[in-house]
Amino acid sequence: MARAGGGRESGYEDAVSVVMAAARLVIGMSVRALAEVDDSLSLPQLRTLVALRECGPVKLASLAEVLGVNASTALRAVARLEEAGLADRRTNPESRREVVLTLTDHGSTLVDRVLGQRRLAMEKVVADVPAAARAGLVEGLRALLDAADGQLKAIRGAAEEFRGGLA
């Protein structure tokens, strides 16, 4: 929120810095969890797998939109995941010109394992937060998720997944 005169209210820059540091923490946990489960995959590949899981059977154009990339980039990413047995690409029976993408059972298991590892790491960090500070942490993160809700809707259920973890 801007104050009169174009400045930011007290604490705004600190909040941005702390959220950026927390984002780096979560990204780092994701990288470590991925390396523990399957060090052959990259973080963007994991992001694609998570998007496939959250979106269910999805058209290539929709996946590209969710990922914020063009269709050819999404297709290359899916092709690599398909080669690894993590994703499946089939012709849409309703429209032969379209391709429908899904996560394989192996891909789903991998996503569950990586996200499970990341959750364990997060649980260890949260356990070290003093109990008196947790309520403020939950309140602040819920407010952040509410503010970002429009951005999170790109992947169906993403906001609910995070909110559910905070409940």
Domain residue extents for the chain: 12-128, 130-167
The Cα 15–Cα 71 span in angstroms is 36
Residue numbers of the chain with a pLDDT score lower than 70: 1-7, 150-167
pLDDT tens digits for range 110-134: 999 999 999 999 999 999 999 999 9
The Cα 58–Cα 130 span in angstroms is 42
Residue 165 confidence (pLDDT)? 40
Side-chain-side CA neighbours of residue 5 (13 Å): 3
Residue 155 confidence (pLDDT)? 46
* CATH number 1.10.10.10 is the correct assignment for the domain at 12-128: yes
